[in-house]
Amino acid sequence: MLSIAIGCDDAAIDMKNQLVEFIKNKGITVVDYSCDQYPELTMYPDIAMRVAQAIKEGEHERGILICGTGIGMSITANKVRGIRAALCHDTFSAQRARKSNNAQIICLGARVIGSELAKVLVDAWLDSEFDGGGSAEKVERISHYENIPHLRS
């Protein structure tokens, strides 16, 4: 069964709660790493790192990160080697995040989009799978650059 990690900061608790209910109603397991569940995680970088690490370690297949704009969460999650987090505000981007980039994490901005659009984007992202093909070589190239030592220092 698919397991989704979700995390948000204080700017996105309402949207996160709506998405948790929405996803659970699909029969998907959701584990919440948000600031309202873990009081020690008050800043979005801490939440993004916790979700990204959990996915990297195989605890969950995919993740959803939400902050005010989604920008900070996506920047932070992409610091974890092997993680591809995509900021999405439209269905085409949500689909391509999976199909072309094999993104394990979708990032959303609670101050940028509404909860109903967030549900549509999550649906599009969940319903999409990595196509491979010509995109596989490009995703491999991303991994190549992640592993160059002088780029990590």
From CA 61, how far away is CA 2, in angstroms rounded? 7
How many residues in the chain? 153
Q: In this structure, are residues 130 and 99 in contact, taking their beta carbons and an 8 Å threshold?
A: yes
The 3-state DSSP class for residue 32 equals: strand
Catalytic residue among 8, 67, 88, 107: 67
Q: In this structure, are residues 74 and 65 in contact, taking their beta carbons and an 8 Å threshold?
A: yes
Q: In this structure, are residues 58 and 64 in contact, taking their beta carbons and an 8 Å threshold?
A: no
Respond yes or no: is residue 35 known to be catalytic. no
Which residues does the annotation mark as catalytic?
A: 67
